[in-house]
Amino acid sequence: MKPDLFEAPDYYNVDELLTEEHKLVRDAAREWVKREVSPIIEEYAQRAEFPKQIVKGLAEIGAFGPYIPVEYGGAGLDQISYGLIMQEIERGDSGVRSTASVQSSLVMYPIWKYGNEEQRKKYLPKLASGEYIGCFGLTEPDYGSNPGGMVTNFKDMGDHYLLNGAKMWISNAPFADVAVVWAKNEEGRIWGLIVERGMEGFSTPETHNKWSLRASATGELIFDNVKVPKENLLPNKSGLGAPLGCLDSARYGIAWGAIGAAMDCYDTALRYSKERIQFGKPIGGFQLQQKKLAEMITEITKAQLLTWRLGVLRNEGKATSAQISMAKRNNVEMALNIAHQARQMLGGMGITGEYPIMRHAMNLESVITYEGTHDIHLLITGFDITGLNAFK
């Protein structure tokens, strides 16, 4: 892969909207990605392997629990810093951002928000330092967009719960130490349970042959009469709103992350367009290529402003789920379109691992599907503005 010469576009001086702390956090993450992710990521993606050696670095830049309070090992940052970290990591690779998203928003967040003090103290510091890696089990083979239909269940056996069922498409599953699993009790109410690797009857087979998110490990969670200690139930929230609340945090991070992937594709295509000579001049001098670049920077700028504003609303505790949903949908589609356009601008070179564009494009095919598909997010906006539910 070519050396990482990334220069971040900032067409509307969005940097002026950031505090010194935001910029310090962002720049530290950017430097770390250049040093530790860019040189190795292509090789790991080609091998379909998660680079486990970067876990410690992810913890050091605050990517595990950016907004979790310091007393639990988190970085205690605000929502914009959290977003900027996700942007920089996904500039490197969506699969690496996935690992950070799952750890922070889907494992640490529910333990922090829905867990008790003992659970917080037991798990959060280890997750923040990367000593433990977590995963989040919501999706099932027959219940993806419609997680409320889940059939994974647990029974109260007096001194423990007995968990049965299966989850699929679970990021980090193959090597996770702990899983936050959503299951129904005997009354059909959804609760979160912390399941630990090593519990009898719990297995995590890896999902192979993915063309997308190859540097992120995906797998199943299989529960065959797993005895879960009663103290592992997250006691403070139940119902579908509990896992969906975690998704709000993760979707917000993805809205920022997608900008990172788009920036990398744009920056690569812009540089290439000035260097690649055809018909006696740089291809960037042709109107058709300029149209692509002009549209890319316009869309990135719009996404930056949308996401920054959403970050302010999140900091004020005012962002709605539907607002987050809009940003996730818009920014991921924007990034995927830019990846496709940028790939074309590199001609044949665009399909090779010499440049990051094809990897981003393939990764974004997962990002546009997980955390709610593009269509589900359109329906969430449709429901929000009309008050009419078109899901069912």
Residue 156 interaction partner, one of ligand TGC, ligand FAD, none, beta carbon < 5-8 Å per kind: none
Report the DSSP beta bridge partners of residue 82. Answer: none
Nearest to 222 by CA among 294, 156, 140: 140
Q: Which of 8, 102, 326, 364 binds ligand FAD (CB under 6 A)?
A: 102
Q: By C-beta, is 11 or 391 nearer to ligand FAD?
A: 391
Distance of alpha carbon 279 from the chain centroid: 42
Q: By C-beta, is 72 or 136 nearer to ligand TGC?
A: 136
Q: Which of 136, 266, 308, 355 binds ligand FAD (CB under 6 A)?
A: 136
One-letter amino acid for residue 117 of the chain: E
| Rounded Cα–Cα distance for residues 82 and 62 (Å) | 8
List the Cα angle 348/351/353 in 5-degree steps.
Answer: 120
Question: If binding is defined by CB under 6 A, does position 144 make contact with ligand FAD?
Answer: yes
Q: By C-beta, is 81 or 363 nearer to ligand FAD?
A: 363
Question: If binding is defined by CB under 6 A, does position 363 make contact with ligand FAD?
Answer: no
Residues that bind ligand TGC (CB under 6 A): 98, 101-102, 136, 138-139, 145, 147-148, 171, 239-241, 244-245, 247-248, 250, 321, 370-372, 376, 380, 391
Nearest to 202 by CA among 180, 221, 217: 221
Is 196 a catalytic site residue?
no
Residue 58 interaction partner, one of ligand FAD, ligand TGC, none, beta carbon < 5-8 Å per kind: none
Residue 282 interaction partner, one of ligand FAD, ligand TGC, none, beta carbon < 5-8 Å per kind: none
Enumerate residues 250-309 that contact ligand FAD by CB under 6 A: none
DSSP 240-285: THHHHHHHHHHHHHHHHHHHHHHHHHHHHHHHHHHH-EETTEEGGG
Interior/surface letters 218-243, b for 16+ CB within 10 angstroms, e for the rest: bbbbbbeebebeeebbbeebbeeebb
**The pair of three-digit structure tokens given for residue 231, joined into one six-digit string:** 């103290």
**Residue with CB nearest ligand FAD?**
144
Residue 165 interaction partner, one of ligand FAD, ligand TGC, none, beta carbon < 5-8 Å per kind: none
**The pair of three-digit structure tokens given for residue 176, joined into one six-digit string:** 């996770």
- Chain contacts with ligand FAD (rule: CB under 6 A): 102, 135-139, 144-145, 169-171, 213, 218, 366, 369-371, 373, 375-376, 379, 391
Show which residues are catalytic: 371
